[in-house]
């Protein structure tokens, strides 16, 4: 762990707005912190030290990156962080992120993903009363709030909330709490994130599983890539690409709830084919592994009790308000993930600061 130091004079010359990012050691937190830091901002990132996140190595080593311990259920400590750092913006990313696990953890999911947000909003309102203003809150909402939309539907900020999982229900309640706080005058908004991935995606999630298996197969370490249902289709994007929307929302004068998505759905079967092709191109003549097309078979029956497939997000409002639109095709992000996982497998080092700087693979075929 690096030591916090007094900001240097060089740092003082930067446009140093202060951004409090909860969950900074998660996939999204790392990508957002890197983007904010690169733009010259001060980042106060919260984490749970007892979780010993492997992603710490990917955070900038800088006087403008400070870490603070926070369990988001502890609103008193959150209030202390507001007083200590006086942030201009709070990006609330920390959450329990598994939809599947939420069926076995209903109460905990609601406590972390809903009730903790309500208490956080109350603390921000108290802060505004003491200081005349509160930081802008940017809340990471989720497409799971829309639930059982008709497959093929294009969802936007006016789509009804119909969650079908404990995770979706908790996020929907938190989303509504943000709307209510904004109606009371708090500068608070939700960015409704559709699915997103990157090399930092946790191994338990399906896209990372496909990528990892594809890399192992290319290196001759497995025979097949197992996918439970290759027909499942969702609107997935690049995590660092979607995190740019948070940075953009922090910079505009007006905020409102906005959908952040690619507007295109892809199946797990497609993604497995992309991953296999990328792994083959990257490993040919170097590994002696498999370079033919992946064999996609039914994997373990780990389906969510109620799954949502085929819906896409309409991010046209985010483009109008923020100037944000997706710039990284999902296929390009998947190919970068393959390159990173091949490096991990070859070296035996799972997390290395250089991994996120690996160049993209040469383009293959048509864009996604």
Domain residue limits, the chain: 17-197+237-260, 206-233+266-305+329-357
> Torsion angle, CA of 29/92/309/168, rounded to 10 degrees?
140
Backbone angles phi, psi at 252, to 5 degrees: -90, 155
Q: Residue 9: its pLDDT value, please? A: 31
Task: Return d(Cα 257, Cα 156) in angstroms, integer.
Answer: 10
Q: Residue 3: its pLDDT value, please? A: 32
pLDDT, tens digit (0-9, with 9 covering 90-100), for 231-244? 999 999 999 999 99
- Taking the mean position of all CA atoms in its chain, how far away is CA 113? 15
Output the six-digit token pair for 234.
């969702």
Calculate mean pLDDT across residues 181-193: 97
| Confidence class for position 102, pLDDT limits 50, 70, 90 | confident
Q: Residue 362: its pLDDT value, please? A: 57
Calculate mean pLDDT across residues 152-172: 94
Q: Residue 290: its pLDDT value, please? A: 53
Query: How many CB atoms within 10 Å of residue 345?
Result: 18
**What is the chain's mean pLDDT, rounded?**
88
Please state, for a pLDDT cut of 70, what percent of the chain lies above it.
87
Contact in structure between 296 and 193 (CB atoms under 8 Å) = no
Based on the number of CB atoms within 10 Å of its own CB, is 26 exposed (0-12), middle (13-18) or buried (19 or more)?
buried
CATH code, residues 206-233+266-305+329-357? 3.90.25
Q: Which DSSP category does 101 fall into?
A: G
Q: Residue 180: its pLDDT value, please? A: 98
CATH architecture of residue range(s) 17-197+237-260:
3-Layer(aba) Sandwich (3.40)
> Which residue in this structure is represented by tokens 């369990």?
71
Residue 305 has pLDDT above 70, yes or no: no
Residue 271 has pLDDT above 50, yes or no: yes
Nearest to 142 by CA among 121, 180, 114: 114
| Confidence class for position 304, pLDDT limits 50, 70, 90 | low
Compute CA distances 63 → 3, 12, 14, 254, 284, whole Å. 9, 11, 12, 30, 43
Q: Residue 150: its pLDDT value, please? A: 78
Q: Which DSSP category does 161 fall into?
A: P
Q: Helix, strand or coil for residue 296?
A: strand
Q: Which DSSP category does 283 fall into?
A: H
What lies within 8 Å, CB to CB, of 97 at 6+ separation is 26, 202
Output the six-digit token pair for 107.
């109460």
Calculate mean pLDDT across residues 316-344: 97
Task: Return d(Cα 142, Cα 234) in angstroms, integer.
Answer: 13
Calculate mean pLDDT across residues 190-202: 97
pTM value? Answer: 0.90
- Taking the mean position of all CA atoms in its chain, how far away is CA 147? 19
Contact in structure between 141 and 93 (CB atoms under 8 Å) = no
> Which residue in this structure is represented by tokens 């092709």?
277
pLDDT: which is higher, 362 or 41: 41
Q: How many CA atoms lie within 13 A of 346 on its CB side?
A: 17
Task: Return d(Cα 106, Cα 41) in angstroms, integer.
Answer: 37
- Element of type H or E holding 171: helix 166-183
The DSSP-derived string for 30-69 is HHHHHHHHHTT-EEEEEE-GGG--GGGGGS--STTEEEEE
Residue 181 has pLDDT above 80, yes or no: yes
| Confidence class for position 1, pLDDT limits 50, 70, 90 | very low
Based on the number of CB atoms within 10 Å of its own CB, is 271 exposed (0-12), middle (13-18) or buried (19 or more)?
buried
- Element of type H or E holding 12: helix 9-12
Residue 128 has pLDDT above 60, yes or no: yes
Contact in structure between 89 and 19 (CB atoms under 8 Å) = yes
Q: Which DSSP category does 112 fall into?
A: I
Lowest mean pLDDT among 2-11, 276-285, 303-312, 337-346: 2-11
Output the six-digit token pair for 124.
């921000």
- E-strand ranges in the chain read 18-22, 42-47, 65-69, 89-92, 136-142, 154-155, 188-193, 195-197, 225-226, 233-234, 236-238, 258-260, 266-267, 296-297, 312-313
| Confidence class for position 301, pLDDT limits 50, 70, 90 | very low
Q: Residue 156: its pLDDT value, please? A: 97
Residue 297 has pLDDT above 80, yes or no: no
């Amino acid at each position: 762990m690096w030591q916090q130091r007094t900001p240097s004079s060089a740092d003082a010359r930067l446009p140093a707005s202060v951004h409090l990012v909860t969950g900074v050691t998660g996939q999204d937190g790392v990508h957002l912190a890197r983007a904010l830091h690169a733009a010259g901002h001060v980042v106060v990132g919260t984490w749970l030290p007892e979780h010993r996140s492997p992603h710490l190595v990917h955070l900038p080593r800088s006087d403008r990156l400070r870490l603070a311990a926070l369990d988001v259920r502890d609103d008193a400590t959150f209030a202390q962080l507001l007083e200590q750092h006086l942030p201009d913006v709070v990006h609330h990313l920390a959450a329990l992120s598994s939809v599947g696990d939420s069926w076995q953890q209903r109460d905990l999911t609601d406590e972390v993903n809903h009730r903790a947000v309500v208490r956080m909003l109350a603390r921000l309102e108290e802060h505004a009363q003491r200081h005349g203003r509160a930081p802008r809150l940017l809340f990471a909402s989720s497409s799971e709030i829309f639930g059982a939309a008709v497959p093929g539907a294009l969802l936007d900020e006016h789509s009804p909330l119909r969650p079908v999982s404990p995770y979706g229900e908790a996020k929907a309640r938190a989303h509504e709490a943000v709307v209510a706080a904004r109606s009371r005058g708090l500068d608070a908004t939700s960015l409704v994130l559709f699915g997103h991935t990157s090399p930092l995606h946790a191994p338990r999630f399906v896209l990372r599983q496909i990528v990892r298996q594809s890399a192992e197969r290319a290196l001759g370490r497995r025979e097949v890539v197992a996918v439970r249902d290759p027909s499942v289709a969702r609107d997935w994007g690049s995590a660092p690409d979607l995190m740019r929307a948070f940075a953009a929302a922090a910079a505009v004068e007006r905020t409102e709830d906005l959908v952040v998505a690619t507007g295109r759905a892809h199946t797990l079967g497609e993604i497995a084919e992309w991953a296999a092709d990328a792994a083959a191109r990257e490993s040919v003549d170097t590994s002696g592994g498999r370079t033919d097309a992946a064999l996609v078979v039914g994997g373990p029956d780990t389906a969510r009790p109620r799954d949502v497939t085929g819906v896409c997000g309409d991010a046209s409002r985010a483009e109008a308000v923020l100037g944000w639109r997706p710039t990284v095709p999902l296929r390009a992000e998947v190919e970068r993930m393959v390159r990173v996982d091949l490096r991990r497998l070859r070296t035996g080092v799972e997390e290395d600061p250089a991994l996120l700087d690996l160049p993209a693979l040469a383009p293959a075929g048509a864009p996604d």
